[in-house]
Amino acid sequence: MKRLIISFFITLLLYIVLFFIIKIDLQRAIKLPPKKRFSISTLRLIKQPKPSKPIPSPSTITPPTHKKPSIHKKQKPQKHLPKAFPKKHQKLAKKRRNKKTKIAKKRAFHKVIKEKNSTKPIPVPLPSLNTLFAKKPPTNQTKPPPKEIQKLYKDEFSTFTKEQQKFIKNNLAKIAAITQKYLYLGGYPYIAVKTRQEGVNIVEFYLHPNGDITDLKLIKSSGYEALDTNSIETIKAAYKDYPLPQQTTKIRIYIHYTIIY
């Protein structure tokens, strides 16, 4: 029994302590606003409203006098502006006048042209039989070749046949591109890369309809033996892919050697 009584009192004390702790925490959390102190400086004096004007009696009110409306005559618009008018309006009036004069001149000009065109056409004499059946000069003149072909062939290009000239114009750039492609695939000469050799070769050969080439030679040397021999070897490997002509044609092409740094 004693133990039960002691345990009961201990639990009571614990609950009381917890109650006070919770109360203190609530007071801290909920802070009430501070009370304002009353001072004389906070007082404000309210002004009394001014007395409104006394309403006049009905005897003093005077009835309003109705005047007859004055009839004003409509003024006619002035054609010419006075001198004292602003400059802007004067400028606008001048522009309008100038436009009217221009339109009038154009109309007069078109009338004159219509009158001229309305006149009867002059009879044209019929051509004679000699003029009709006379031989006309050839109108389809051959166009000059491009600048690259002129540099390579010079006056020799005019001695070729039409088919040869046509083949050179259409396929010379293709042949040069194919040789340049094979040159890149074969690789730059090892000695030329070490010594930084660069230049341009001009190569000449005859291309046959069956795809063979003859008389392969250098016309212009690059100045380096390694580059010259490499250009001839590349043409020997690349001529199989060249387009075929209908007649044997002389072909001259540039071969460029440049080192990409």
CA 1, CA 261: separation in Å to the nearest integer?
108
Query: In terms of Cα–Cα distance, which of 261, 252, 246, 248 is closest to 231?
Result: 252
Q: What is the pLDDT of residues 4-50, one digit of tens each?
A: 888 888 888 888 888 888 877 777 666 555 555 655 555 555 556 66
Q: What is the pLDDT of residues 52-75, one digit of tens each?
A: 655 555 555 555 555 555 555 556
Instruction: Give the bridge partners for 204, in sequence order.
Output: 217, 252
Residue 222 and residue 228 in contact, taking contact as beta carbons nearer than 8 Å: yes
Task: List alpha helices for the chain, DSSP H.
Answer: 2-29, 87-117, 129-133, 147-153, 162-186, 190-194, 225-238
Residue 226 and residue 191 in contact, taking contact as beta carbons nearer than 8 Å: yes
Residue 173 and residue 225 in contact, taking contact as beta carbons nearer than 8 Å: no
Query: In terms of Cα–Cα distance, which of 161, 251, 180 is closest to 213?
Result: 251
Q: Average pLDDT over the chain, rounded to whole?
A: 77
Ordered by start, the domain boundaries in the chain are 147-257
pLDDT at position 32, please?
Answer: 54
pLDDT at 254 over 70: yes
Q: What tokens does 21 get?
A: 């702790």
Q: What is the pLDDT of residues 150-202, one digit of tens each?
A: 889 988 998 999 999 999 999 999 999 999 999 888 888 888 888 888 999 99
pLDDT at 237 over 60: yes
**68 Rama class: left (phi>0) / alpha (psi -120 to 50) / beta:** beta
Task: Give the pLDDT band of residue 146 (cuts 50, 70, 90).
Answer: confident
Q: What is the pLDDT of residues 94-127, one digit of tens each?
A: 778 887 887 887 788 777 777 766 655 566 676 6
Residue 178 and residue 234 in contact, taking contact as beta carbons nearer than 8 Å: no
Q: What is the pTM of this model?
A: 0.46
* Domain covering 147-257: architecture: 2-Layer Sandwich (3.30)
Return the sign of the alpha-carbon dihedral for residues 218, 219, 225, 228. negative
pLDDT at 212 over 90: yes
pLDDT at 210 over 70: yes
